[in-house]
Amino acid sequence: MAAMDEVDRRRFLSLLGAGVAGVSLPGLVAGCAPGGAGAGSGSAKDRPLSAAFNQPINDLDPHGASAVDEASLLANRQIYDTLVTRTGEELAPKLARSWTQPDDKTWEFTLRDDVTFHDGSKLTSADVKASLERLAKSDGPQKPLWTAIDTVEAPGPHTIRITTTDPLGTLPTNLTLAFILPAAQLGRADFFRKPIGSGPFAVESFTPSSQLLLKPVKNYWGGAATLPGLRLPYIPETSTRMTSLQNGEVDVTWIIPPDELKRLAGVDGVRIESKPGVNYFLAWFNCGRKPFSDARVRRALYHALDIKGIVASLYGDAATVMDAPIPAAVFGHASQQPYAYDPELAKRELAEAGYSGGIRTSMMWFKDTGPLATELAQSLISAWAKVGVVVEQQQIEKAAWIKRLTALDWDIELQVNTVTTGDADYTLGRLYTSTANRMGYANKELDGILAQARSTADQEKRKSLYAQACEIIWRDAVGVFPAALSSTYGLRSPVKGFSPAANSQPEFRTVSTAQ
**Rounded Cα–Cα distance for residues 135 and 129 (Å):** 10
Query: What is the predicted pLDDT for the residue at 215?
Result: 98
What is the mean pLDDT of the segment spanning 316-325? 94
Distance in angstroms between the alpha carbons of the first and the last residue of the chain: 47
Count CA atoms closer than 13 A to 222's CA, side-chain side.
21
User: What is the value of pTM for the model shown?
Assistant: 0.80
Count of residues in the chain: 515
Query: H or E stretch including 362?
Result: strand 359-365
**Rounded Cα–Cα distance for residues 204 and 212 (Å):** 8
Give backbone dihedrals phi and psi of 365, rounded to 5 degrees, phi first: -160, 165
CATH number corresponding to 276-486: 3.10.105.10
Query: H or E stretch including 246?
Result: helix 238-247
**Rounded Cα–Cα distance for residues 118 and 217 (Å):** 7
Closest CA to 270 of 253, 246, 302: 246
- Summarize pLDDT for 53-111 with one digit per residue, the tens: 988 999 999 999 889 888 999 999 999 999 999 887 789 999 999 999 999 999 999 99
Domain boundaries, given as residue ranges, for the chain: 17-78+199-251, 81-185, 276-486
What is the mean pLDDT of the segment spanning 121-126? 98
**Rounded Cα–Cα distance for residues 485 and 245 (Å):** 21
Query: What is the predicted pLDDT for the residue at 255?
Result: 87
What is the mean pLDDT of the segment spanning 365-383? 93
The alpha-carbon radius of gyration of the chain (Å, integer) is: 23
> What's the per-residue H, E or C state across 87-149?
ECCEEEECCEEEEEEEECCEEEEEECCCCECCCCCECCHHHHHHHHHHHHHCCCCCHHHHCCE
Query: What is the predicted pLDDT for the residue at 122?
Result: 98
Q: Which CATH number is correct for 81-185, 3.40.50.2020, 3.40.640.10, 2.60.40.10, 3.90.76.10? A: 3.90.76.10
With bands split at pLDDT 50, 70 and 90, how would you rate the model's confidence at 40? very low
- Summarize pLDDT for 289-308 with one digit per residue, the tens: 999 999 999 999 999 999 99
17-78+199-251: which CATH architecture?
A: 3-Layer(aba) Sandwich (3.40)
Contact of 303 with 343, CB cutoff 8 Å: yes
271 secondary structure, DSSP code: E
